[in-house]
Amino acid sequence: MLTPEAMAVLKARYLMDNETPEAMFKRVAQTIAQAEALFDGDASRAAAEYDQLMSSLEFLPNSPTLMNAGKSNGQLAACFVLPIEDSLEAIFETLKNTALIHQSGGGTGFSFSRLRPKGDQVAATGNTSSGPISFMHVYNLATQVVKQGAVRSGANMAVLRVDHPDIMEFISVKHQRNVLNNFNLSVAVTDKFMAAVDADLPFELINPRTKLAVNSVQARTIYDRLTEMAWENGEPGLFFLDTVNKANPTPLLGAFESPNPCSEQPLLPYESCNLGSINLAKMIKATKHGIELDYNKLRNTVRTAVKFLDSVIDINHYPLNLVAEQSKLTRKIGLGIMGLADLFILLDIPYASEQAVELTANIMKFLTTEARLMSSAIALRRGNFPAFNGSIFAVQGYTAMRNATVSTIAPTGSISLIAQCSSGIEPLFALSVTRRVLEGSTLISSNPIVLRYLSERGLLSETVSAVIERDGSIANTDLPLAVQAVLATAHEIEPAWHIAHLAAAQRFTDNGVSKTVNLPYHATQADVAKVFKQAYESGCKGVTVYRNNSRSEQVLTHGMTRCAKCEE
């Protein structure tokens, strides 16, 4: 049974006219199964497998697939990256392509790093450049116009290299509230910059047009501004450029410059990726020793999900020919997880523990290994991805691989609501939350797994229920400390544990991991700097922090009442 919260989201964004959730899952399953006809497969059998997988809420694909499968010109991928070259024609050609992608339900990432800095000469006109930030405002306005009336609003990621001359303006652009609201911001940080921060050295800023240094700034001056703004409002995040490119599976095709809007999917120019997530709370079995993770069920789910996601590539109606060509060249898919926090509660394991971190790593190692085995098996029947020669797989001695990447951990904000599980690899934000899901719409809910956990231990009294509803936490109760540890919420968990899970997952994930390091309201700028440093040193591809209530509006708030700070 779907919860009222899930039904509200489905009716508002996913279901076609007079469509039931059951009919939606059948529509999606039958559409994706049509790929079997291209390879002499059994479409009816595949459709039944996909329908069971989704209707059981064991796996869900990204939102565009649920929304658009079966529609004429249905665009099924979530993530796109487009290049922005340093000419007016190129800038506005990419803007046109962005509008088409947003219209189709996709999100776009860009690096503005190739654009000449503000005040630089424009030879063709004799004027000076307005700089990359000015064009971000143009893209932001266009996104706002296109998304009006859209079921799925367009979203963007803007990246600027840390050595761009306009980097300080970029870092501070959201100091003024309600600016670039259709963008997430990330700074592309290099190993050279991080070394300069450590050694307190000057750092050269390079004009991308001339490739010459135009200024030198103390690296820590830039870093301090970064941590200050992230402390102030959660942006920008960091995108560890060299770390990302060391894991590039097709280096001969080019280098990564930007991820998608939620930063979990680095892509080459014009690539897209379709994502899907397995609900770990459904991957369990009861044994004489208690609840355990069912690895056999997880293996079978991974295999079916990989075949589903690979088939999406062949069924998809891409918004641009270039995107279709590049996407089919590498055939990237991104299978990930959601419900990790729920799984820990079911297993009676605190999120803030070495046992939990080890399990996160083991799950992603298992998932990626099995997904790659399945991709290899599919390739024997359907063929390798066309860019296989020259890829890391050819170098490593593989003979068959259908997909250049197989795993990604997305934030799963909407599909986790449908699946009624915790999002991505995040800890529970709160034990009860008021969630803004749509314009002017809120959903209030207490976590049923939490309530069941307490009830099974005889700890769910009316008083405890009231505290959970009011505070979204049991931290100020007299419940056993072991129980409080298992049910600790995001802001009660030390940032180091957030990073530990991020790094553990990233170690065995082909693409990236979307994870927010939640900080309490009283966290300091030094705390942010420590998080950034730990993320970099532990091999993460990116990191984002968010200090509670540092913005006047946020998607989740604790409990069913707002904190006193919000009422000031």
**Distance of CA 139 to CAs 84, 152, 404, 455, 480, Å?**
11, 17, 30, 51, 52
Contact 419, 339 (CB under 8 A): yes
Residues 6+ apart with CB under 8 A from 545: 230, 231, 234, 237, 495, 516, 517, 518, 519, 528, 531, 532
Residue 282 has pLDDT above 90, yes or no: yes
Q: Could you give the 3-state DSSP secondary structure of residue 231?
A: helix
Residue 250 has pLDDT above 60, yes or no: yes
**Mean pLDDT value of segment 139-149:** 86
Q: Could you give the 3-state DSSP secondary structure of residue 228?
A: helix
Residue 2 has pLDDT above 70, yes or no: yes
Q: Rounded CA gap, 481 and 492, in Å? A: 13
Model pLDDT, residue 565: 29
Q: Which of 487, 532, 539 is nearest to 512 (CA)?
A: 539
**What are 144's strand-pairing partners?**
none
Split at pLDDT 50, 70, 90, the class of 441 is low
Q: Concatenate the DSSP letters of all residues of 458-502 into one string.
A: T---HHHHHHHHHHS--TTS-S-HHHHHHT--GGGS-HHHHHHHH
**Mean pLDDT value of segment 537-558:** 84
Which residue type occupies 419?
A
The label of the residue with tokens 């919860």 reads 3
pLDDT (tens digit, 9 = 90+) per residue, 111-133? 999 999 999 989 878 889 999 99
Contact 551, 524 (CB under 8 A): no
Residue 568 has pLDDT above 80, yes or no: no
**Mean pLDDT value of segment 157-174:** 99
Contact 551, 234 (CB under 8 A): yes
Model pLDDT, residue 443: 64
Contact 502, 513 (CB under 8 A): yes
Angle at 409 between CA 416 and CA 486, to 5 degrees: 65
The label of the residue with tokens 């984002």 reads 544
Split at pLDDT 50, 70, 90, the class of 563 is very low
- What is the torsion angle, in degrees rounded to the nearest 10, for the CA atoms of residue 95, residue 72, residue 318 and residue 405? 130
Question: Which residue numbers are catalytic?
Answer: 260, 262, 264
Provide the token pair at 310: 């690979």
**Mean pLDDT value of segment 212-239:** 98
Model pLDDT, residue 444: 66
**Distance of CA 117 to CAs 90, 164, 241, 282, Å?**
16, 7, 20, 51
Model pLDDT, residue 4: 86
pLDDT (tens digit, 9 = 90+) per residue, 450-470? 999 999 999 999 999 999 999
Contact 125, 228 (CB under 8 A): no
Of 84-88, 185-189, 548-552, the one with minimum mean pLDDT is 548-552
Residue 311 has pLDDT above 60, yes or no: yes
Q: Could you give the 3-state DSSP secondary structure of residue 286?
A: strand
**Mean pLDDT value of segment 431-438:** 75
Q: Rounded CA gap, 50 and 30, in Å? A: 8
Residue 387 has pLDDT above 50, yes or no: yes
Task: Indicate the DSSP class of residue 280.
Answer: G
**Annotated domain spans of the chain:** 4-66+274-395, 79-259
The domain defined by 79-259 carries CATH number 3.20.70.20:
yes
- Provide the mean pLDDT of the chain: 94
Provide the token pair at 167: 């980097």
Model pLDDT, residue 423: 97
Percent with pLDDT over 70 in the chain: 94
Provide the token pair at 401: 């691989």
Q: Which of 427, 553, 450 is nearest to 500 (CA)?
A: 427
Q: Rounded CA gap, 416 and 418, in Å? A: 5
**Mean pLDDT value of segment 363-372:** 99
Q: How many CA atoms lie within 13 A of 512 on its CB side?
A: 30
Q: Rounded CA gap, 301 and 8, in Å? A: 27
Contact 115, 135 (CB under 8 A): yes
pLDDT (tens digit, 9 = 90+) per residue, 34-62? 999 999 899 999 999 999 999 999 999 99
Residue 368 has pLDDT above 90, yes or no: yes
Q: Rounded CA gap, 529 and 521, in Å? A: 16
Model pLDDT, residue 241: 99
Model pLDDT, residue 433: 81
pLDDT (tens digit, 9 = 90+) per residue, 350-364? 999 999 999 999 999
Task: Indicate the DSSP class of residue 35.
Answer: G
* Gyration radius (Cα) of the chain, Å: 23
- What is the rounded end-to-end Cα distance, in angstroms, of the chain? 40
Model pLDDT, residue 562: 36
Burial class (CB in 10 A: 0-12, 13-18, 19+), 456: exposed
Residue 349 has pLDDT above 50, yes or no: yes
**Distance of CA 201 to CAs 161, 217, 219, 221, Å?**
18, 9, 6, 10
Instruction: Cite the DSSP H helix spans in 250-294.
Output: none
Of 330-339, 394-403, 431-440, the one with minimum mean pLDDT is 431-440
Q: How many CA atoms lie within 13 A of 22 on its CB side?
A: 1
pTM as predicted: 0.95
